[in-house]
Structure 1
């Protein structure tokens, strides 16, 4: 039977013991990382969230204690009392490597079966198995460090915003379903049959109402939910650092957020973040082909349209004639890596993004190899290479099409080559702001203008006259913060004028009935005096992910979902009993599987 702690109380964490504790009697608790039986000596590495300390037993001490230590296996839970002493052989790999505990009393609090995988950072095991036994996976040092880092970030966040007069206010988790851009998670009502709550995609409407209520500055570490397809930087449930400010301009909000990020990186990482540069949306797309560019390396997009406007190459000529452009990226000293086979793979990637193909110039030998050479004289090719600053060893990748195809295609190829050619420096954080986002985007399928943001975003004042006549030129008072190609936050100044809000709803094609059904309570609130306000939402999970240098949110969330939005450990979602369904007046319809 397991023993109890009665009479023993932990005096220190394993990893916090040091030379200062030598000569003192201490009590530690934890899990057995490793047991080594040398016959007359037994060593146990005991682990808790702070680290590992070595326990020592010899056969000259209490026989019962020695035999108990001999029976211990990995992941047993122990409490041990003993004297801290200098260690003979120093272990430089652990923080307690200069000391050890000579144990006088040992209790086995819980025995453990052999785990399905070794609980060390060096263990090579499939992610599916680790997620199935996530509670064991979370015992690993690297994962525990990430969870502790997440806690530190949350603490600094609250400290910073509290010091800047923000109030932490909770908003509801069961809300009205409103269009936010993704599918809602719906919760059926037991009392109101046929009606549903939605889990919040964000507290957007509520935080605006808090500004109308006079709270002036609001902050919340808010849980949010979106029923959308998952990817590496997306989970169905996530945490936002959600904030809103009254009587402020866009500059005020951006300064507050920039100060927060500087404080966060200084306190948590010991890194000084310089003043963040700014790019408009159009500048970011033109230079990097992305509204969240990774600026840790160059390889910016170059516009060749003017240079090749008289070209007889049909791909270039047709794209320009149809109002498109011809653009490229130059991969310096990449000819050895970017073989013809490698370029073919990049061509397939370009087609997958939407391009019709990929033209190239590969200058590996004395003469460059140009995929469209027969449409260009040697002098024209030389002039083109000179314009691009190309030398032997370089590769030029060219896309010709509408800008909405060309720019994102080259942007993706740029990122692929940045990784493939190892151009991205480790341990560097490049922050920047993206501003002046388009207010509307043209939807080819519906042949209509759609809002790029939620419908409460304020257009730039100089753009207001063009909302009806030229929607494509309207820019928003919206801003994103980006680091290393990851969008950390998005925010905007909100519309507070009742008549302008109605106009924006109409521009989005909403009828009076739809406005009333979806946003009636918010529209009514504007009639009672709304202060100018704006705010933002920062992805807490993404902040942790980028700080840790991880590639997936699953690495920084305690109990994550996998790509099909299920949790492997608890096996949710799962069926519920018939009574629960009857209480909710819900019937499950079996769908016939479609033949493949």
Structure 2
């Protein structure tokens, strides 16, 4: 017999009754029923109930074991009495009578209990992550993550892609966040960087003549943490293709992701890729207040400025006299009560706005009537025009925000989400995808008036060089994101592969040719040697698994995550280097005041 086990803790059933087996695992739970000890023995695969009474030669030893001790038992498989069968367990028809036992690893008093669903502070969970990971929910999350990655690989190979690995130690190349720098021992005073993404390398792979590349790539960014983002490192499905247009990328990656969500989504509805809308960046901002909209929520915001221009509501009327301002409405079907309207007004105030104007419609003495402060100020004709534009009726409401769109779009988007949730309009048990397209390449700083990049500087401008000779603020890029349920899952672009267009694009944003050649020399030089048209994208593995596992925090699907302060409490990182390490690297730490 094997030294540790002849079966796992999920394999036994009534066909094994009478057999002698060897199991190894952790003591999940202990129950003492009148001198008979019952132990739920757990391994990675499942749970088997084992038992021991005074007739067992190791009864006195079994009495000593405690939760999370790692043990090996030998015993005889017995059928459970029919009334004691546990249908919730694959092994619920049998139990194992212990004949011999060996303690493989005793456990001290536990800082957190593995059995059950107790909540513990995040600090405790991360400091003792190896115990936290023993919990059933975490085992499922990590198993799912592994299976998702495996499925992605198979699907990409089936589509003719090959997997290539790109360097982890490379040169600093800003991708929109701070680099993690690595000092060089052989070149004192110089630093490598951990890659924020394999962006330049995958483009160089296309220039090298490889037609389809992918990689499950680690990326490193020194970012502020959020619930849906790791503050140090993350993994992405990175892919690139040659001789493609934007739609080709969509047609390639969409069925891969749809298949993953169908396979691991637990029966939740997955919109077919042919139904994924393509929404312009500007329309997404207007309708949803976000470039990663949750389309499970049917609410679309609309511009209603004309109904308030010159109206009796002085705040909005005067606002509209300023250039670049507008009034937007958030329809709220079934939200037509003063209580709900007041609650949403309070929400806006918590978000830092003075509040949100509102109108709601109800049955009056003479039929439907509009209520609320706004309705009284602008009069029945304007109120009715708003109602008709928004398609609302009795029992519905609308909320209003005004100003320059960038000052209130984010809050409007949050309000839309809250309204959808509270009114039960947001569809559950569904994954709703949308491609966000036509991102503007440039933006103007309102204070300085200078033009800079608003989005990816490496995307090909729509219209090429001709577009760059016009108004920069009208230039759109072949850049795209894929949103799902309010999260950005994919970001990509058709790349700018022409050196003269690349120089012109950076020149508009104030970057001279010498700076471009210095910062992006490898790409710029490669583009002079027959670069093919190419494009691709990257899909966030962590966020995909977070959605599939129905988790709100990305740390629930990462094996060993950092905390909110980008600290590894378990490994005590970051830590102070030893003085001889600093000397070897020709470094000195300057104390902070």
**Cα shift readout 1:57-93 (whole Å, capped 9, x = no counterpart):** 22223x2x22221111100101122233322202233
Structure 2 contact 440–455 (Cα < 8 Å) conserved? no
TM-score by length of 1: 0.92
Shift of 1:389: 3.8
2:6 corresponds in structure 1 to: 11
Aligned match of 2:241 in 241, 245, 264? 245
Change (3 A) 1:190 1:103: same
Which residue of the partner structure matches residue 282 of structure 1? 282
In structure 1, what is the Cα distance between the partners aligned to 2:55 and 2:307?
88
Q: Is 1:360 the counterpart of 2:361 in the alignment?
A: no
Secondary structure class of the residue paired with 2:134: coil
* Deviation at residue 444 of structure 1 after TM alignment: 2.9
- CA separation in 2, counterparts of 1:82 and 1:332? 64
SS in 1 for 2:307: coil
Count of residues in Structure 1 that have an aligned counterpart in Structure 2:
581
Equivalent residue of 2:10, what SS? Answer: helix
Distance 1:364 1:566 in 2: 54
1:517-563 Cα offsets, whole Å, 9 max, x none, are 21112111111111111111110000100111111111100111122
Deviation at 1:364, TM superposition (A): 7.0
Distance 2:135 2:459 in 1: 44
Change (3 A) 1:553 1:445: farther
Distance in 2 (alpha carbons) for counterparts of 1:22 and 1:302: 68
SS at match of 1:211: helix
**Structure-to-structure mapping, 1:150-165, within 5 angstroms:** 150-165=145-160
2:174 touches 2:196 (CA, 8 Å); kept in 1? Answer: no
Cα contact 2:214–2:240 (8 A) shared by 1 = yes
The structural deviation recorded for 1:54 is 0.3
Deviations 1:225-268 (A, max 9, x none): 11111110111210011111112221111111011112212333
Give the secondary-structure state (helix, strand or coil) at the position aligned to 1:372: helix
Bigger mean CA deviation after superposition, 167-176 or 369-378: 369-378
The Cα of 1:9 is off from its aligned counterpart by 3.5
- Once residues 374 and 533 of structure 1 are traced to their aligned partners in structure 2, the CA distance between those partners, rounded to angstroms, is 57
**Counterparts of 1:337 and 1:377, CA distance in 2:** 19
**Mapped pair 1:77 → 2:70:** yes
| Aligned residue in 2 for 1:546 | 547
Q: 2:220 — aligned with what?
A: 225
SS at match of 1:172: coil
For 1:405 and 1:81, the matched residues in 2 are separated by 69
Q: CA deviation at 1:590?
A: 1.7
1:418 aligns to what SS in structure 2?
Answer: helix
Could you say what secondary structure the match of 1:376 adopts?
helix
1:474 positional shift: 1.1
Aligned-partner SS, 1:143? helix
* Contact 2:320–2:326 (CA under 8 A) maintained in structure 1: yes
- Following the alignment from structure 2 to structure 1, what is the Cα–Cα distance between the partners of residues 589 and 338? 55
Q: How much has 1:145 moved relative to structure 2?
A: 0.4
Task: State the 1:498 CA deviation.
Answer: 1.9
| Cα offsets for 1:247-299 (capped at 9, x unmatched) | 22211111110111122123333655412222222222222121110011222
- Which residue pairs with 2:175 in the alignment? 180
Aligned-residue offset at 1:48: 1.3
Equivalent pair of 2:22/2:73 in contact (CA under 8 Å): yes
* Range moving further from structure 2, 6-15 or 52-61: 6-15
Whether contact under 8 Å (1:265, 1:273) holds in the other structure is no
What residue number does 2:496 align with?
495
Matches within 5 A, 1:549-564: 549-564=550-565
Give the Å deviation of 1:314.
Answer: 2.5
Aligned to 2:407: 405
User: Structure 1 340/432 Cα, relative in aligned 2: closer, same or farther at 3 Å?
Assistant: closer
Question: CA offset at residue 357 of structure 1?
Answer: 4.2
Q: Deviations over 1:440-487 (max 9, x none)?
A: 2233354322223332211122x6423243111111111211110111
Other-structure match for 1:45 = 40
> 1:338 offset after TM fit, Å?
4.2
> Pairwise CA RMSD of aligned residues?
2.2
1:323 paired to 2:324: yes
Once structures 1 and 2 are overlaid, which stretch shifts more, 567-576 or 422-431? 422-431
CA distance in 2, matches of 1:24, 1:215: 57
- Give the secondary structure class of the aligned counterpart of 2:311: coil
| Structure 1: tracts of 5 or more residues without a match | 1-5
Q: Which residue number in structure 2 is paired with residue 29 of structure 1?
A: 24
Partner residue in 1 for 2:262: 266
**Residue correspondence of structure 1 range 52-451 to structure 2 within 5 A:** 52-61=47-56, 63=57, 65-88=58-81, 89-235=84-230, 236-269=232-265, 271=267, 273-275=271-273, 276-321=276-321, 322-336=323-337, 338-339=339-340, 342-350=343-351, 352=352, 357-363=355-361, 366=364, 368-373=370-375, 375-451=377-453
Residues 407-437 of structure 1, C-alpha deviations (whole Å, 9 max, x = no match): 3331121112233344333321111211111
1:187–1:365: structure 2 CA closer, same or farther, 3 Å change rule? farther
Q: Secondary structure at the match of 1:16?
A: coil
Displacement of 1:341 in angstroms is 5.0
Residue range with higher mean Cα deviation, 140-149 or 321-330: 321-330
Residues 307 and 382 in structure 2, CA contact (< 8 A), matched pair in contact too: no
Partners of 2:457 and 2:341 lie apart in 1 by: 48
- Aligned residue for 1:3? none
Shift of residue 339 of structure 1?
4.4
Greater displacement, 134-143 / 563-572: 563-572
* Alpha-carbon shift at residue 391 of structure 1 (Å): 3.9
| Structure-1 separation of matches of 2:564 and 2:507 | 37
SS in 1 for 2:567: coil
Change (3 A) 1:452 1:94: farther
Residues 280, 437 of structure 2: 8 Å contact kept: yes
Q: Relative to 1, partners in 2 of residues 1:560 and 1:396: Cα closer, same or farther, differing over 3 Å?
A: same
Deviates further, 20-29 or 130-139? 20-29
CA contact (8 A) 2:112 2:120 kept: yes
What is the distance in 1 between the residues matched to 2:51 and 2:488? 50
User: Secondary structure of the residue that 1:400 maps to in structure 2?
Assistant: strand
Structure 1 residues 325 and 171: CA distance shift in structure 2, 3 A: same
> Which deviates further from its counterpart, 451-460 or 253-262?
451-460
What is the deviation of 1:379?
Answer: 4.2
Q: Is the 8 A contact 1:319 1:402 kept in 2?
A: no
Q: How far apart, in 2, do the equivalents of 1:262 and 1:390 lie? A: 34
Once the two structures are TM-superposed, the CA of residue 98 in structure 1 deviates from its matched residue by 2.1
Q: Counterparts of 1:361 and 1:72 in 2: how far apart (Å)?
A: 66
